[in-house]
Amino acid sequence: MTSVVLSIGSNLGDRMARLQSVLDGLGPAVRAVSPVYETDAWGGVEQGPFLNAVLIADDPALDGQGWLRRGQELEQAAGRVRGQRWGPRTLDVDLIACYDGDVELSSRTDGLTLPHPLAHLRAFVLIPWLTVDPDATLTVAGESRPVQRLLGEIDQAERDGVRPTDLALTLQTESTRD
């Protein structure tokens, strides 16, 4: 079974609806979803704050490239336009890590680098991830490291910039689909 850790974010339009569209689009493949956090934009481009969450999904039919295509389809459905790097966006779906069973997959191909090369530097990825998988690990520089430890290496000011919200995404279950 192939599973994936996805970081989702939006800072344009109805941010919650954009995040929810990912869960709705992946349907029963979604296994877990984090609380929603508000974070200041990352990357130095002046823009409004993001809503961010992390989800874990399973689909035996998808490999890393398949998850990438699926994420891009969801972005396109949300009106994503690829313009300025780290600029504002209706929806951002980033593949953080992909697993075949318990084995973390590695990819260094055009368009797909796994694990995500900057995830270990982003509190807005690590904090929500830990809420759905407290024992998560991520390979950084060839070494599998606990996400909790990676988070501790990030500047406190950046960690403080990941603010909890009262917003919640709805994970589709059999009873909510009826």
Cα 98 to Cα 57, 78, 150: the distances in Å are 10, 23, 18
Residue 82: pLDDT band with limits 50, 70, 90: low
Name all domains of the chain by residue range, CATH numbers in brackets. Answer: 2-166 (3.30.70.560)
Residue with the bigger pLDDT between 164 and 117: it is: 164
85, pLDDT greater than 90: no
- Helix H or strand E segment including 34: none
Please give the full DSSP string across 47-83, using - where no structure is assigned: -PPEEEEEEEEE-TT--HHHHHHHHHHHHHHTT----
Residue 126: pLDDT band with limits 50, 70, 90: very high
Amino acid at residue number 66: G
176, pLDDT greater than 70: no
Helix (H, G, I), strand (E, B) or coil at 19: helix
